[in-house]
Amino acid sequence: MPTPQEALNELLEMSASVRQAVLVRGAGEVLASTFASGDAERAMVQAGREMLEQAREEAKKMERAALTQLFVETGSGCVFIAAGDKDTWLAATTGTEPTVGLVLYDVGTALKTALEGEPDGDNYSK
Q: Specify the DSSP class assigned to residue 11.
A: H
Q: pLDDT tens for residues 18-60?
A: 999 999 998 889 999 999 989 999 999 999 999 999 999 999 9
Per-residue pLDDT tens over the stretch 90-107: 999 999 999 999 999 999
Domain positions in the chain are 4-115
What sign does the CA torsion over 25, 117, 34, 67 have?
Answer: negative
Nearest 10 degrees: CA dihedral of 75, 45, 86, 16?
Answer: 50
Domain 4-115, CATH homologous superfamily name and number:
Dynein light chain 2a, cytoplasmic (3.30.450.30)
